[in-house]
Amino acid sequence: MARYNGGFGGGNQMQQLMKQAQKLQEDMQKAQQELEDAELIGESGSGMVKVVVNGKKIVQSIQIDPKCVDPDDIEMLEDLIVAALNNAYEEADELYEEKMGPYAKMGGGLF
C-alpha cells in the first residue's frame, strides 16, 4: 500500500520552502529599510529650490535660495516648490521600483 507524504513532497521540501520564505521576507525588510534611509533630491529653478525626500516619499527638508523669494510673486515660489517635490517623487518612484519591484511581481501580499 502506498504512503501519502503530504502535498509538499515531505518535510525536507517544506523546510526548504520555509527557509526561502524567511530569506525573502528578510530581503524585503532590508529593501524597505533602504527606502527609508535613502535621500533623494528634487530640484527646480536651476537649483533654487531643493527638496529632499526619502524613498517612501517623506519630505526630509526643503531649501529655498533667498534670491527666488519675491513677495510680489509668491505663485512662482509655490510653483518651484511643487516642481521640486514632483522631481523628488519621481526619483523616489524609480528607487522604489528598483528595490521593491521584484517582490511586487511575485504577487505581493506575501507577508
Total number of domains in the chain: 1
Residue 3 lies in a domain: no
For residue 36, the domain's CATH number is 3.30.1310.10
Residue 1 lies in a domain: no
Could you read off the pLDDT of 14-70 as tens digits, one per residue?
A: 888 998 889 888 989 999 999 999 999 999 999 999 999 999 999 999 999 999 899
Residue 111 lies in a domain: no
Q: What range defines the domain where residue 94 resides?
A: 11-104
Residue 110 lies in a domain: no
Q: Nearest to residue 84, comparing CAs of 100, 103, 60, 102?
A: 60
pTM of the predicted model as reported, rounded to 2 decimal places: 0.71
What pLDDT score does 54 carry?
94
Residue 2 lies in a domain: no
Strand partners, 44: 49
Q: Tell me the C-alpha to C-alpha distance, in Å, between residue 5 and each of 2, 9, 11, 14.
A: 10, 6, 8, 11
